[in-house]
Structure 1
Amino acid sequence: MKRLLSFFICFGILLFWSSCRDDFEFSPSKGNLKFAKDTVYLDTVFTNIGSSTYNLKVYNRSNDDIVIPTIQLENGVNSFYRMNVDGGTGLVGAQEGKFFEDVELLANDSLFIFIETTIDIETLSNSDTQFLYTDKILFDSGSNQQDVDLVTLVKDAVFIYPNRDATTGIVETLSFDVDGDGNDDETTLQGRFLEDNELTFTNEKPYVIYGYAGVDNGKTLTMEAGARVHFHADSGIIVTDGGTLNINGELSTDLDALENEVILESDRLEPLFEDVPGQWGTIWLFNGSENNTITYTTIKNATIGILSEGNQDATNDKLTITNSQIYNSSSFGLLGRATSISAENVVINNSGQSSFAGTLGGKYNFTHCTIANYWNNSFRQFPALLLNDFVLDENGTAIVNDLDEANFTNCIVYGNDNPEFLLENEGDVFNYKFTNCLLRFSNSNLENTGNYMFDDTNFYTGNSFNDDPNFEDPFENLMRIGEDSGANGIALSLNPTGSDLLNSARNSTEPDCGAYESVVFED
């Protein structure tokens, strides 16, 4: 009985004490909120494509619990922005995500506002290809009103995407002759073939591709200088039998803007995704495509930068690539399979496997190229450069094809692993030669054995091994070489001597290896 009486006494005291507290009474805010930033930049978005989610932290630095009477967008229901305040979406209906009432904020506490946008540029401007869209978040009103600016750059674009069946929701897939029997085969690749009026990419607007854009038999896709091409996840370009790709970039004067280069990258424009590998598929030069040329082009953040298959016996090389860069490929930078590739002044770096792999034989000629791999996102299985003449079938049996030639002249083959080139053959025709290259190879178990007889002038002439190439910053894809580079002055003088990737004249008597002539780095 005494215990029960004590309980009721304590309960009564607690109830009385609680009723006297004013800790949970909220007073109206007085315009003294603090903000983590005074402007929220939502970076660049394409018209009608949703942005990433950005956040704004709002602080109550006072010792009072407050209530913010209203949080709203200045443009109201017509704003292209939408908000979420600490998990709430605000009023229902048209004002959802636009208007919030009586938002409580404890003393010395904070809340998050999450902001997104999807903007239709045609409602803003009928002529501009890009537009700066702004709004404000308004906190309270009258003399207590505070605000934070919202700013987004919106770009108009040409969108290329497969059709979707309105009834079934099934997305169109590509059909073409996969096995070479003369009949079209259905594939699982979402995409469609480009129409004739879509076969020239200009620099007027960026292009955004969903799925695979196909180049059909007898058609040529031309990309003009300054074109910008963006790919959604699992997207790319496929050039099928009888098709051709010509990417015609030109020398740029601004090394940051690369205004005249053609740039192929992801459709994620936020800085956070600027150097993220594997955001899209590949440029696929399928068996039978022909006379493909790429110059002054940057390809970045793909799964495979370029995949070239077949046609090693073609009169003209299947792919000629010059003055170009391939970076941040989650698998291979440039992958050849029984194909023919000619490359000059090309830089390939940061690949999840090999930066260049010539597999199942083929014909390859690389001159003044930098084939490097400073991948540090995960373990990689292969070196920067891989050559072989076989592929294993499902039973583990090697299918062999001749490596007719693989010539590397005045190249740098280097990286953050060792060795950085691997030569594997199962057949008898395996022709390769390294001439006046800077190579990274230090392996006592392999040196002077098999394909690594470095004194055999049939395969190795004038090369230098394991000297620091003195790259500017290879982890950031800055691949110029400095005055202390081991590649300086060791290249074979060619006729004509030509220019490097930046159009700097090469030394006529002692040129440097790789795609760049050496420079003095600025502090």
Structure 2
Amino acid sequence: MRFLLPLLLVLSALVTVLLPGCEPKEDLLTTDSSAKLEFSLDTVKFDTVFVSVGTVSKRLWVYNRNARAVRVAEISLQSRPGATYSLLVNGDAGLTLRDVEIRGQDSLLVLVRATIDPTPTALKPFLVVDDLRFRTNGNEQAVKVLSYGQNAYFHDGEQIKRNTIWKADKPHVIYNSVLVDSAVTLTIEAGARIYSHAGSFLVVRGQLLCNPTYQPTGAIKPDDRNIVRFLGDRREEFYSEVPGQWGGLEFDASSHDNVLRFTQIKNSAFGLLIFNPFNRQPHPSVRVENAEFRNISSLNGGYFLEGAALLGLSGDFRVQNTLITNCEQYAVFGVQGSQLQLDYCTIANYTQNNRLKPSVLLAAAIEINGKQQPPVAPVLLMRNSIVWGNMRDGEELEFVDGDQYPSAISIRNSVLKTKKYEKAGPLNQQQNGNILNPVEGPNYLFKSTPLRFRGKTLDFQLDTLSPASNKALPLPALTTDLLNRPRNPTTPDIGAYERVNP
């Protein structure tokens, strides 16, 4: 018996060597013409693509449902005029790939990337269609590839040295930032679209006039085509509400008399930054009317400040009829002598992350490059405005060392979410017509918030029985709201929106 196990091992080895090799069934090739492929999509669709700019790669899964392997003789694009495509399969790139094997009951990932050729005469998006072809065992199969091209003005590291107008006939795309030189004015026409690449800024040392003359004749909708919109350059639906995709608008110490009207700034690291770190006089200033700031994240790339929709470092903001929402850090940040005036503004600061910063922060001093700067008291005049959000500890106001400059803070007829400043003291805000910490429900403040209606489109217009209704102080110079609807002349509503009765 002791010789039996060695004998069996020898016989097993001889059988393995002498018998013909056997391949797994899924590795055996079939040449049967009925062995067709299946696809995860019938059309590979790209979102609107700026001409001459490559898209992200789109995925197409190719399935071999057959028991045996197939050899795809050719994978190719028809290459119709108007677009340049590239394929990536198993690490191999090209317009045509040959002899690609797919094991039985297995799949293959094909990555498709598109670059649209310029069409100078087309102002609106234009359709480009192609065919992605697969030839297997004599069978020809095809998947449509569909793209929309968009001509644009491209500004790559541009320095504007003379008075310039950005027209609205085509989008503007910013790469590597744009600088508006001192003593120069950049005017942006009504309806212009400005798309910025990751890390890009519009830096103003002179003057920016954004939508300076547009005046609607009646009420407008949020998607009004005359609103100027600043966005990131990722056009895919996934990125439509993602913060921090590009830098923001920066106004340096020499900037002056800037105006933004009927403007939206979205998905940036900051909205408007006035950067005057050594308190140069006169302060650079920005006037904001009928604007929206949405999905603002935090600063990066060497700045020593955190993100905010309105960030004033020794700079002055005058803001009216404006919505600020979904800022991952601050909504309004004013330090070192900044002067802020907010009239009929709604700050509805809801974020998915655990936000640790209040919506509104004021401070007299700031540290620059490790050195404390001389303190200069900021000034805040807020009227008929809402400061609300989902800050973890429920505090949406912070006046750093505010007891040293209480007379510089004036808040009237506003709805505030604050526990700190409802207490007795020089900064107490339970006066001047203010409403502090109203209970949400059954008299909801807004129509729709992330806490009230999950998954529903956010709507920061006032709810039917909102505590902000009819509690504002009439301001004779401001007779319309964010959407250019008339305000009640005697008992207007607090916030950017005047409530419209159904």
TM-score range (shorter-chain normalised) is 0.7 to 0.9
Q: Relative to 1, partners in 2 of residues 1:428 and 1:68: Cα closer, same or farther, differing over 3 Å? A: closer
For residue 139 of structure 2, what is the aligned residue in structure 1? 144
The C-alpha deviation readout for 1:60-87, integer Å capped at 9, x for no partner, is 2233322222221122899611111233
CA 207–140 in structure 1, closer or farther in 2 if over 3 Å, else same? same
Q: Distance in 1 between matches of 2:41 and 2:219?
A: 35
Question: What corresponds to 1:179 in structure 2?
Answer: none
Q: Among 372, 385, 389, which residue is 2:364 paired with? A: 389
> 364, 367, 381: which one pairs with 1:407?
381
CA contact (8 A) 1:390 1:425 kept: no
> Is 1:483 aligned to residue 464 of structure 2?
yes
Query: In the alignment, what sits opposite 2:300?
Result: none
Retained in 1: the 8 A contact 2:319–2:341?
A: yes
Q: Which residue of the partner structure matches residue 188 of structure 1?
A: none
Equivalent residue for 1:297, pick from 260, 263, 284: 263
Give distance in 2, aligned partners of 1:141 and 1:21. Answer: 22
The question of 1:59 aligning with 2:97 is answered no
Query: 1:215, 1:53 → 2: CA distance?
Result: 34
Aligned residue runs from structure 1 range 254-403, under 5 A: 255=221, 257-310=223-276, 314=282, 318-330=285-297, 331-377=307-353, 379-392=354-367, 397=372, 399-403=374-378
Instruction: Give the CA deviation at 1:213.
Output: 1.5
CA distance in 1, matches of 2:481, 2:60: 46
SS, match of residue 226 in structure 1? coil
Q: Is 1:7 aligned to 2:23, yes or no? A: no
Distance 1:26 1:156, change over 3 A: same
Counterparts of 1:190-205 in structure 2, within 5 Å, are 192-196=158-162, 199-205=164-170
Q: Hey, what's the Cα distance between the residues in 1 that align with 2:467 and 2:53? A: 47
Listed as ranges, the matches of 1:466-477 within 5 Å are 466-468=438-440, 469-473=445-449
Q: Alpha-carbon deviation of 1:104? A: 1.8
Task: Quote how far apart the aligned CAs of 1:133 are.
Answer: 1.5
Q: Which residue of 1 aligns with 2:418?
A: 441
Given the superposition, is the C-alpha separation of residues 428 and 479 from structure 1 closer, same or farther in structure 2, using an over 3 Å criterion? closer
- Asked if 1:223 is matched to 2:188, the reply is yes
Does structure 1 conserve the Cα–Cα contact (< 8 Å) formed by 2:287 and 2:317? yes
Note the C-alpha offset of 1:14: 3.5
Which of 207, 217, 220 in structure 2 is aligned with 1:244?
207
Partner residue in 2 for 1:232: 197
Contact 2:172–2:195, Cα closer than 8 Å, also in 1: yes
- Go from structure 1 to structure 2 and tell me whether the alpha carbon gap of 1:383 and 1:425 turns closer, same or farther (over 3 Å shift): same
The residue that corresponds to 1:187 in the other structure is: none
Flag the 1:481–1:118 CA change in 2: closer, same or farther, 3 A.
Answer: same
- The RMSD of aligned alpha carbons is 2.9
1:304 Cα deviation after fit:
1.2
Residue identity in the other structure for 2:99? D
Encode CA deviations 1:429-453: one digit per residue, 9 max, x unaligned.
751111111111135xx64254542
Kindly tell me the number of residue pairs found equivalent between the two proteins. 472
* Structure 1 residues 503 and 467, CA gap change in structure 2 (3 angstroms): farther
- Say yes or no: does 1:87 pair with 2:86: no
Alpha-carbon shift at residue 295 of structure 1 (Å): 0.3
| 2:107 counterpart residue number | 110
CA gap 1:430/1:279 in 2 versus in 1, 3 angstroms: farther
Contact residue 416 and residue 434 of structure 2 kept, 8 A: no
1:237 alignment partner AA: L
Would the alpha carbon gap of residues 259 and 354 (structure 1) be closer, same or farther in structure 2, given more than 3 Å must change?
Answer: same
SS at match of 1:511: coil
In structure 2, what residue type is equivalent to 1:493? P
Tell me which amino acid in the other structure corresponds to 2:359: A
> Aligned partners of 2:449, 2:19: CA distance in 1, in Å?
66
Of 4, 24, 29, which residue of structure 2 is paired with 1:26? Answer: 29
Once the 2 structures are TM-superposed, how far is the Cα of residue 254 of structure 1 from its aligned partner?
Answer: 7.4
CA apart distance, 1:343: 0.8
Quickly say closer, same or farther: Cα 1:398–1:506, change in 2 above 3 A. Answer: same
The alignment's TM-score, normalised by the length of structure 1, stands at 0.82
1:348 deviation in Å? 0.9
The 2-side partners of 1:300 and 1:497 are apart by 25
Contact 2:48 2:125 in 1 (8 A): no
| Cα distance between partner residues in 2 of 1:254 and 1:135 | 39
Q: Which runs of 5+ in 2 are unaligned?
A: 298-306, 452-456
C-alpha separation between the residues in 1 aligned to 2:182 and 2:236? 37
Equivalent residue, structure 2, for 1:177: none
Tell me whether 1:502 sits opposite 2:483 in the alignment: yes
> How far, CA to CA, are the matches of 2:171 and 2:35 in structure 1?
43
Instruction: Kindly state the Cα deviation for residue 127 of structure 1 after the two structures are TM-superposed.
Output: 4.4
Question: Contact 2:446–2:459 (CA<8 Å) still a contact in 1?
Answer: no
Q: Which moved more, 1:479-488 or 1:465-474?
A: 465-474
- Are the counterparts in 1 of residues 406 and 426 from structure 2 also a CA contact under 8 Å? no
Between 1:217-226 and 1:333-342, the stretch displaced more is: 333-342
Match of 1:101 in 2: 98
Q: Is the 8 A contact 2:271 2:296 kept in 1?
A: yes
474 and 452 in structure 1: CA distance in 2 versus 1, 3 angstrom threshold: farther
Shift, 1:16, TM fit: 5.9
> Structure 1 395/26 Cα, relative in aligned 2: closer, same or farther at 3 Å?
closer
Match of 2:41 among 37, 43, 58: 37
1:355-380 CA distances to partner (integer Å, 9 max, x unpaired)?
11111122221111012211223x43
Query: Is the CA contact 1:313–1:340 (under 8 Å) kept in the aligned structure 2?
Result: no
C-alpha separation in 2, matches of 1:472 and 1:146: 48
Report the CA distance between 1:256 and its aligned residue.
6.2
User: SS state of the match for residue 361, structure 1?
Assistant: coil
